[in-house]
Structure 1
């Protein structure tokens, strides 16, 4: 009886994750996606097929991985208070690493902008570059993204207060605004007079705004998963770590965009 009790009950509050194939599958999918992306950009034949395969593989691996984590936290009760504290710390460290990543991008931008070289015409923007007007599409995108931060905050407070309708409507509004932002970013790229190959200005502009756009799409996926979990009655007013992490990530995306707009769109133009 003693042996049976010890084998069925653990003496600590932490969750020991069972072996999972999804981290390995996700790594393989990411390797396929990045490699196929480079091949496609260089015009290799059938590169687009491998790019699509890598993208679908990544989506599938993440979906199954999310499914297992949701099962652990919602149905198996493995996400105790101690586990949630650890997950909160992990999300915080992840966002700090993302902030340092964008710091490197801003460093590259200001390195070239504050002291333009002779090759850039000793001016910023360089000669021949017509910068995007910051008071047109960029300003509209700023209003849209800040509005999405407001709606997602409303959804969070509604969840804490037990207002289910407010949560769902707030998250739907956030997702709609996020999709509109991404579409307008694509429109901005299509009408821009310069490309990523146009010197330091083009490289810094598309590298910073493009990676921010990628983060917007990732945050949209996170919030969409959170919306589905609220709709499926997975989240409660006191246990909604996944949605809370997605909301924190979305606020980080908002803050980064403010820095991008002020420095690259307004000051850089």
Structure 2
């Protein structure tokens, strides 16, 4: 992911056709198949799930290896560097739209659909015919009380700790970035490992939170609209933190091998952009999902 911004007149590097995108698609498809069967309680979930994850992780690392090799052998010039910057920028923009859709679903369910079902407005009094006893209160599992009674996760327990962890990780990766620009490689490596540790701890606590929600609060993916939006938003964010942690590990190992220069390190910058994006999304989740 790194580029060496050399002479702008250097010919634009075009890599040879690669099989990695196709194989990665197969791995992700197998993973989704395994997850969907697991959620539906079907048989044969373990094999496609494990195989898909193993294939996906292996392909990601081999793809990284090829790109790193291209970068370190000086094949990337200033034009390629700019291409990567634009590509990463548009990728993060697409991720913003991805989460915006889910936040929009939460807003619609909470501030539009729920009041209507509760009898708000004079045109559609569906509650009088279908759910006369349904109250417009949040959180809710809907008029059908899907999934039964449940409790919500307290914002000031593990979610608050995870907020502190991610905000701290944003500080540590920023310190590492400034250390790299100042040619203080050891300091950069130390703070990068600190960022990795904070990200991994976040994932551990999120797993603990999910276990607590499922087994003690009866809050599951099947707990109506609240359960589905809660796990949809926090679960997809957790997937992004997992990917970001892998990226941080790769970048840190590269730093230990002597990769990146103070004036040429977009591989590092791209990962830092992504990690800050993950931090900002979590702040939105903490406010709109856990507190409000």
Residue 259 of structure 1 pairs with residue 273 of structure 2 = no
2:49 to 40, 48, 51: 51
Give 5+ residue unaligned stretches, structure 1. 1-10
Check conservation: 2:10, 2:77, Cα contact below 8 A: no
Check conservation: 1:197, 1:203, Cα contact below 8 A: yes
2:63 aligned residue: 65
User: TM-score scaled by structure 1?
Assistant: 0.91
SS at match of 1:114: helix
State how 1:1-269 maps to structure 2 within 5 Å.
Answer: 13-75=11-73, 77-115=74-112, 116=114, 117-118=117-118, 121-126=135-140, 128-192=149-213, 193=217, 194-267=219-292
Tell me how far apart the structure 2 counterparts of residues 93 and 82 of structure 1 sit (CA, whole Å): 17
Stretches of 4+ aligned residues off by more than 6 angstroms? none
SS at match of 1:258: helix
Tell me by how many angstroms 1:161 deviates. 0.3
Tell me by how many angstroms 1:236 deviates. 1.2
Tell me by how many angstroms 1:190 deviates. 1.1
Tell me how far apart the structure 1 counterparts of residues 152 and 58 of structure 2 sit (CA, whole Å): 39
Name the structure where helix makes up a greater proportion of residues. 1
Aligned length: 256
- Deviation string for 1:205-260 (max 9, x for gaps)? 11000100110001001111100110111111122111110010000000001111
SS at match of 1:79: coil
Tell me how far apart the structure 2 counterparts of residues 130 and 40 of structure 1 sit (CA, whole Å): 24
SS at match of 2:221: coil
Tell me how far apart the structure 1 counterparts of residues 109 and 38 of structure 2 sit (CA, whole Å): 30
Tell me how far apart the structure 2 counterparts of residues 233 and 250 of structure 1 sit (CA, whole Å): 22
Q: Over the residues paired in the alignment, what is the CA RMSD in angstroms?
A: 1.5
Tell me by how many angstroms 1:13 deviates. 2.9
